[in-house]
Amino acid sequence: MLKILVANSKGGCGKSTIATNLAAHFAQDGKNTVLVNADRQGSSRRWCEKRAGFATPVLPVSGTRSDWRDHVPKGTQRVVVDAPAAIQPKEVEAFLEDMDAFLIPVLPSRFDLEATEAFIAAIGNLGRVKRGKVAVGLVGNRLKPWTTASQVAIDEIKRMPFPLVGQIRDSQGYVLMAGLGKSIFDYGSEAILSHQHDWEKLLRWLKKLQ
């Protein structure tokens, strides 16, 4: 069972977008997938509920209680955890107990970069991270790769202590699909395929952890 935590202390970084699209990809790949909604806003849970009647559903599990692991069914092959908003490093530690991967979405704005730098510094001191028991990867999110600002941000993220494992472009498509319980992996049009290509590096990185 591959378990992935998606978290950042900086709000609005798009962690639910990363978590839901990852979960949809695994479900489309035929894996029994659970999406743990630990954020009290409930965005991931509502997304799962909208997806319930699809051929590739994702099972929602509430992660707002410490015993959430007891509610993950036997036979689950993939677990994606959408962490609480504004989570602090000490709170992250409880989730990392049995995670295989920890993804940190990073937006290209100056405020987000500075806030994430401080978060990453603290994450690097957590026991399982220091011992190499969990793989940590950074995901550049809502990027506009045609702009100088995003290019400068990517260069800065690459200098951070953990590897840049994905670069996801900014697109209203993610917003529209989230409202339907869908993801970019539920479509095969040419326009959507270019968005899917953005995820290839991240998916390869995760595959190495299996």
Cβ atoms of residues 166 and 192 within 8 Å: no
Report how far residue 95's alpha carbon sits from residue 68's, in angstroms, rounded to the nearest whole number.
10
- Which of helix, strand or coil describes residue 108? coil
In CATH, 2-207 is 3.90.76.10: no
Report how far residue 172's alpha carbon sits from residue 178's, in angstroms, rounded to the nearest whole number.
10
- In this prediction the pTM is 0.93
Structure tokens of 72? 């993950």
Cβ atoms of residues 52 and 98 within 8 Å: no
What residue has token string 């900086």?
Answer: 10
pLDDT digits (tens, 9 = 90+) for 154-194: 999 999 999 999 999 998 888 888 889 999 998 877 778 88
pLDDT digits (tens, 9 = 90+) for 124-139: 999 899 998 999 999 9
Report how far residue 202's alpha carbon sits from residue 210's, in angstroms, rounded to the nearest whole number.
13
